Structure 1
Amino acid sequence: MKVGMVGDASVGKTSLMVKYIENSFDEDYIQTLGVNFMEKTVKVKGTEITFSVWDLGGAREFVNLLPLVCNDASAILFMFDLSRQPTLNSIRDWYRQARGFNQTAMAILIGTKFDIFAKQDQEYQNEVL
């Protein structure tokens, strides 16, 4: 099952992918250049399912690789950083572009970095929520 991950740079796409696939977390930020790809096989009700997770670098220079991430995906994760509102604002553009390549994938919106978001002032939290 192919899963694509899109969103602005440094929203936590790679961190989420590595946490799910390898159950590890690296505090150091390393920008994704192009596309990252990882696989994990899990058993669900006795059936093995292989998740192929495709992580697109968030820098706009990599948008030309969007078809690689979105084509044939069963789901697309649209990710933003809860502590940086502009990353949420850009989701509409990511969604429009991704849907241009895949109109049938399940679209899932994911807000990351809640730990940082929870430390911000109440006014900002109300704006985002």
Structure 2
Amino acid sequence: MEAKVVFLGDAGVGKTCILSRLLRNQFDPQTLSTAGAQFVQKAMNYNGKQIKLNLWDTAGQEKYRSLATMYYRNANAVLIIFDLTRQQSFDNVVYWYKQLQQASISQNIIIVGNKADSVRKVRRADAELVAESLYCPYFECSAKTGDSIGSIFEKVCELVENCSSKTVKPMKLVQEQKQGCCQ
């Protein structure tokens, strides 16, 4: 099973660092902002099944926002990531959610508050309230320490598996053959 997973959020919230922690179990404080998008793959085992995650790390800078729709089209899951130490990045969670709705993506969206190891500006209760109002699961993590990174991607796999098991396979339509007068 394969799944397209897209990382969205403002610049500097730690999307690339979360990805680095997931892939290499490393944290680099000198990580540069992503320009455009970065694509990597990660194989995960979930419930005895192999799930290949096609991970799209998108740029959060204002100048790249118009390109983002191209990357989250046909996504099986989306992480909207914000920085717990920056209120503005949290305030923009609703912006990112609305962008997904405009692209007809309304399920398998996870809200993630990153930098849980730092002094927070966003209260957990406020973040949970927003996530609940958007009907999205909520996680807090630290790309720096690795806290909760595994839990987030376990949830991604759960959502992807549940969604794929509910997918109805299209029936093959039998085309009616026309018979001519000479047959």
Contact 1:2 1:51 in 2 (8 A): yes
CA RMSD of aligned residues (A): 2.0
Alpha-carbon shift at residue 104 of structure 1 (Å) = 4.0
Q: Deviations over 1:64-107 (max 9, x none)?
A: 22123211111111110001101000111111112211424411
Task: Name the SS of the counterpart of 1:116 in structure 2.
Answer: coil
- Give the corresponding residue for 1:10: 12
2:14/2:83 contact within 8 Å kept = yes
Using CA pairs under 8 Å that are at least 6 residues apart, name the structure with larger relative contact order, 1 or 2.
1
Moved over 3 A (4+): 124-129
Q: 1:47 corresponds to which residue?
A: 49
State the TM-score, normalized to the length of structure 2: 0.62
Matched, 1:109 2:111: yes
Which structure has the highest strand share of the two?
A: 1
Of the two, which has the highest radius of gyration?
A: 2
What is the CA–CA distance in structure 1 between the aligned matches of 2:64 and 2:7, rounded to whole Å?
13
The answer for unaligned runs of 5 or more in structure 1 is none
Q: How many residues align?
A: 125
Instruction: Decide whether the 8 Å contact of 1:5 with 1:69 is kept in 2.
Output: no
Partner residue, 1:87: 89
For residue 97 of structure 1, the aligned residue among 93, 96, 99 is: 99
SS of residue in 2 equivalent to 1:29: coil
For structure 2, the residue ranges without an aligned partner over 5 or more in a row are 128-183
Cα pair 1:43 1:49 within 8 Å, conserved: yes
Q: Is the 8 A contact 2:16 2:31 kept in 1?
A: no
Structure 1 residue 68 corresponds to structure 2 residue 70: yes
The alignment's TM-score, normalised by the length of structure 1, stands at: 0.86
